[in-house]
């Protein structure tokens, strides 16, 4: 007989939620603006192999990743030969031949790598599809202003082997109004670079600069393409960006137009009675103040349920919130189910997502632990099986 093992928890991806989010984002985008789906960090924990075909089926044909190995995954799991893959971060000189061969576009932000791209493409008698990243004030990666002229002229001269696909930057911290003027200044720098590039190339290159937060709050800075990560998965980059939406749409009630794509669930592994005065789990982290029923759930910090949720996190069982009692273990948590009388072994437990009338959003998960949505999502291990539903 063939062994059949199931993982202790699973992740479901809701196809209709993604379609709904993309529809909302397309409506928000200025006319003709392309949306690139950012799927770095294993598609923000959703899983590239499951998320990408679902996004392609929903009409997405441009994907942004961080590194060459992620671009390789996009090529392997994608189904549309027209799909464009763009590396926004790490590509080594030795990975360039592969990228050029496969038509993968990539950012360049330093002269040495620009030169390497040109030399590799020339050796291959092909064209490297490049995006020139401009330093506008984030001070992470990007060509500094004094380099712009020489870089643009180099690319123009080498155009037989360098195909300029875009000029780009990254607005730093648009999720907070406190950074408003910083972004204005970044935008002025970007415009300066675009003006110079237009003069040198004779045409205005494609420009992109905004991620979800800038896209949602600075509609005058969409340019030709926006790179959307967190919002497509159904999350606001911050509470401020959500408030901005409610205000600009003049909505009185909190109607969230974004729907969470991901649900993470497990099941009750066992149940136990605990007497008042007993400690639960390791050490003396939780002392039962009354007789209790506790349930164990087979997920722990190895699965992305952080130790910092000890005594503070909660999950949903039978539509009711049950708090974590005691330390989060490597593979298990203990939860207080004293107020859920009909609970039984095998009942569904939701760590992130909806059950009955209640929902645990990653945001509330994030608030409990002071982690950002981004971090909680991308920490979900790739070994948890993902299934597409809806
Ligand atoms: C360069 C770049 N563009 C776009 C994004 C997408 O950001 P968000 O998930 O906030 O939309 C990121 C993510 O950090 C990024 O680094």
Residue 370 confidence (pLDDT): 58
Instruction: Give me the number of domains the chain comprises.
Output: 2
The pTM (predicted TM-score) of the whole model is 0.94
Domain end position, chosen among 189, 213, 248 = 248
139, 140, 211, 233, best to mutate for ligand 1 pocket (most atoms within 8 Å of CB): 211
- Same-domain pairing of 327 and 296: yes
In a domain, 1, yes or no: no
Give the nearest ligand 1 atom to 170 CA: 1
In a domain, 85, yes or no: yes
Strand partners, 264: 11, 352
Cβ of 217 below 6 Å from ligand 1: no
- Same-domain pairing of 275 and 236: no
- Same-domain pairing of 157 and 46: yes
Cβ of 211 below 6 Å from ligand 1: yes
Cβ of 230 below 6 Å from ligand 1: yes
In a domain, 363, yes or no: yes
Residue 294 contacts residue 274 (beta carbons within 8 Å): yes
Residue whose Cα lies nearest atom 12 of ligand 1: it is 211
CATH number of the domain at 325, please: 2.40.37.10
Cβ of 38 below 6 Å from ligand 1: yes
In a domain, 4, yes or no: no
Q: Which residues of 38-63 are buried (b: 16+ CB within 10 A; e: fewer)?
A: bbbbbbbbbbbebbbebbbebebebb
229, 234, 376, best to mutate for ligand 1 pocket (most atoms within 8 Å of CB): 229
Continuous segment of H or E residues that includes residue 272: strand 270-274
283 Cα to the center of ligand 1, angstroms: 41
Residue 261 confidence (pLDDT): 97
229 Cα to the center of ligand 1, angstroms: 6
pLDDT tens per residue across all 390 residues of the chain: 566 778 999 999 999 999 999 999 999 999 999 999 999 999 999 999 999 999 999 999 999 999 999 999 999 999 999 999 999 999 999 999 999 999 999 999 999 999 999 999 999 999 999 999 999 999 999 999 999 999 999 999 999 999 999 999 999 888 888 889 999 999 999 999 999 999 999 999 999 999 999 999 999 999 999 999 999 999 999 888 988 888 888 776 667 899 999 999 999 999 999 999 999 999 999 999 999 999 999 999 999 999 989 999 999 999 999 999 999 999 999 999 999 989 999 999 999 999 999 998 886 777 666 567 888 899 999 999 999 998
- Same-domain pairing of 359 and 229: no
- Same-domain pairing of 94 and 236: yes
- Same-domain pairing of 22 and 164: yes
> What letter would DSSP give residue 143?
B
Cβ of 234 below 6 Å from ligand 1: no
Domain end position, chosen among 215, 248, 281 = 248
- Same-domain pairing of 232 and 154: yes
- Same-domain pairing of 73 and 22: yes
- Same-domain pairing of 333 and 306: yes
38, 235, 362, best to mutate for ligand 1 pocket (most atoms within 8 Å of CB): 38
In a domain, 256, yes or no: no
Cβ of 131 below 6 Å from ligand 1: no
CATH number of the domain at 39, please: 3.20.20.10
213 Cα to the center of ligand 1, angstroms: 9
* Range(s) of the domain holding residue 179: 15-248
Give the nearest ligand 1 atom to 213 CA: 10
- Same-domain pairing of 186 and 271: no
- Same-domain pairing of 323 and 385: yes
215 Cα to the center of ligand 1, angstroms: 11
SS3 annotation, the chain: CCCCCCCCCEEEEEHHHHHHHHHHHHHHCCCCCEEEEECHHHHHCCCHHHHHHHHHHCCCCEEEEEEHHHHHHHHHHCCCCCCEEEEEEECCHHHHHHHHHCCCEEEECCHHHHHHHHHHHHHHCCCEEEEEEECCCCCCCCECHHHHHHHHHHHHHCCCCEEEEEEECCCCCCCCHHHHHHHHHHHHHHHHHHHHHHHHHCCCCCEEEECHHHHHHCHHHCCCEEEECHHHHCCCCCHHHHHHHHHHCCCCCCCCCCCCCEEEEEECCEEEEECCCCECCCCCCCECCCCEEEEEECCCHHHCCCHHHCCCCEEEECCEEEEECCCCCCCCEEEECCCCCCCCCCCEEEEEEEECCEEECHHHHHHHHCCCHHHHHHCCCCCCCEEEEC
Q: Which residues of 297-328 are buried (b: 16+ CB within 10 A; e: fewer)?
A: bbbbbebbbbeebbeebbbbbbebebebbbbb
Residue 371 confidence (pLDDT): 61
Cβ of 216 below 6 Å from ligand 1: no
In a domain, 6, yes or no: no
In a domain, 160, yes or no: yes
Q: For residue 266, give the nearest of 227, 222, 297, 232 by alpha carbon.
A: 297
In a domain, 238, yes or no: yes
Tokens of residue 121, six digits: 């493409």
65 Cα to the center of ligand 1, angstroms: 9
- Same-domain pairing of 188 and 328: no
Domain end position, chosen among 199, 215, 248 = 248
């Amino acid at each position: 007989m063939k062994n059949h093992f199931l993982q202790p928890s699973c992740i479901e991806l809701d196809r209709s939620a993604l379609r709904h989010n993309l529809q909302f984002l397309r409506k928000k985008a200025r006319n003709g603006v392309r949306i690139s789906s950012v799927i770095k960090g294993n598609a923000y924990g959703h899983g590239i192999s499951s998320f990408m075909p679902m996004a392609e089926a929903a009409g997405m044909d441009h994907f942004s990743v961080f590194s060459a190995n992620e671009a390789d995954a996009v090529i392997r799991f994608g189904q549309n030969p027209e799909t464009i893959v763009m590396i926004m971060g790490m590509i080594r000189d030795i990975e360039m031949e592969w990228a050029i061969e496969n038509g993968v576009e990539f950012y360049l932000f330093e002269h040495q790598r620009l030169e390497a791209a040109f030399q590799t493409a020339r050796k291959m008698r092909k064209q490297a599809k490049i995006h020139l990243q401009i330093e506008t004030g984030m001070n992470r990666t990007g060509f500094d202003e004094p380099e712009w002229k020489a870089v643009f002229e180099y690319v123009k001269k080498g155009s037989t082997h360098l195909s300029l696909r875009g000029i780009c930057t990254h607005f730093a911290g648009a999720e907070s109004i406190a950074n408003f003027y910083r972004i204005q200044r970044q935008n002025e720098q970007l415009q300066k670079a675009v003006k110079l590039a237009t003069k040198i190339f004779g045409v205005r290159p494609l420009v992109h600069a905004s991620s979800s937060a800038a896209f949602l709050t600075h509609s005058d800075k969409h340019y030709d393409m926006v790179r959307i990560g967190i919002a497509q998965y159904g999350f606001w980059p911050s509470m401020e960006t959500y408030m901005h939406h409610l205000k600009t749409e003049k909505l009185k009630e909190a109607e969230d137009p974004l729907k969470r794509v991901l649900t993470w669930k497990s099941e009750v592994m066992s149940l136990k009675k605990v007497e008042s005065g007993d400690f639960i789990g390791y050490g003396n982290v939780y002392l039962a103040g009354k007789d209790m029923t506790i349930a164990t759930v087979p997920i722990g910090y190895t699965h992305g349920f952080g130790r910092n949720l000890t005594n503070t996190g909660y999950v949903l069982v039978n539509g009711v919130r049950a708090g974590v009692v005691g330390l989060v273990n490597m593979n298990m948590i203990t939860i207080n189910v004293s107020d859920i009388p009909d609970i039984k072994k095998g009942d569904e437990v939701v760590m992130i997502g909806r059950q009955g009338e209640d929902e645990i959003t990653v945001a509330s998960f994030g608030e409990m632990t002071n982690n950002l949505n981004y971090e909680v999502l991308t920490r979900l291990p790739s070994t948890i099986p993902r299934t597409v539903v809806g």
